[in-house]
Structure formats: structure tokens, C-alpha cells
Amino acid sequence: MTRWDGCTPLGLLPELICKRHAQRTALVFENQRTTFAQLAADVDRTAKALLSLGVRAGDKCLVWLMNSPEWIHLMFAIAKIGAVQVPINTRLRAGDFAYLLGQSNAAFVFTHDQSGPIDD
């Protein structure tokens, strides 16, 4: 039996839980259900994509996304490769976002075309 030992890095949790509950539901978003096996595969695919973009351990990755499975994939994938997630509230205005971007020294920004209900 695989158990969390309190020392497992965040990025490895989907893989760890998949060993025990592969076919159980991990995420429900709108009408889409994702098993732990699918989640672990999505996190691995996302981590590989991040590495191909040049994200490396220690890089700060600003994440300005609304609730979505992609947010979860990024959270685990960023941690898995040893980068640092900088989550940003999607209700911030563009000026606030610019300030946080400058203060965070983020090397990468992940966002939707429109990240929240406030455009200005």
C-alpha cells in the first residue's frame, strides 16, 4: 500500500495517489470527470510541455487563470519540475497585475485570453 509519508513533494502527489486509486474521480469540472490516472498523465504532459518551453527548477511561474482543470495541472506540474508557482487573483485589474508581475520576477506567465470579470 502506498501512503503519503509527509515528505512527498507536492508535484508527485498525483502519481502517488494514482497508484492506489487510479480509476477514482479526482476532478469534476462542469460536465467533465477526470480520474486520478488521467490527472497524473495530464500533470506529466504539462510538466513535459513546461520543460520544452524552457521552464526550469527555481523559475517563478505566474499563474493568472480562472478555475479550470488546467490550473490544477499547472500547479502540480510546476511543483514537479521544481519551479515556483506565483498564483494571481483573477479579479485584479491590469495595473495590479503589472505590479505583481514586476515584483515577482516571474520568468513565465500562464493565463487565459481574459482572466477575470474585470478588464481594466
Which helix (H) or strand (E) element contains residue 84?
A: strand 84-87
**In contact, 18 and 76? CB cutoff 8 Å:** no
Q: Where are the alpha helices (DSSP H) in 11-115?
A: 13-21, 36-53, 69-80, 94-104
Q: Has residue 77 been placed in a domain? A: yes
Helical pair 69-80 and 36-53, crossing angle rounded to 10 deg? 60
Dump pLDDT digits (tens) for 100-109.
999 999 999 9
Q: Has residue 104 been placed in a domain? A: yes
Rounded CA separation 62/110 (Å): 6
Q: Has residue 98 been placed in a domain? A: yes
- Mean pLDDT, the chain, as a whole number? 89
DSSP symbol at 40: H
Say whether pLDDT at 1 is over 50.
Answer: no
Q: Can you give the CATH number for the domain in which 46 is found?
A: 3.40.50.980
Q: Has residue 75 been placed in a domain? A: yes
Q: Has residue 120 been placed in a domain? A: no
Dump pLDDT digits (tens) for 38-84.
999 999 999 999 999 999 999 999 998 988 999 999 999 999 999 99
pLDDT confidence of residue 83: 97
Q: Has residue 54 been placed in a domain? A: yes
How many structural domains compose the chain? 1
Residue with cell 515556483: 84
Q: Has residue 101 been placed in a domain? A: yes
| Predicted TM-score of the model (pTM) | 0.86
Rounded CA separation 31/33 (Å): 7
Q: Has residue 118 been placed in a domain? A: no
pLDDT confidence of residue 2: 54
User: Could you list the residue range(s) of the whole structural domain that residue 31 is in?
Assistant: 10-111
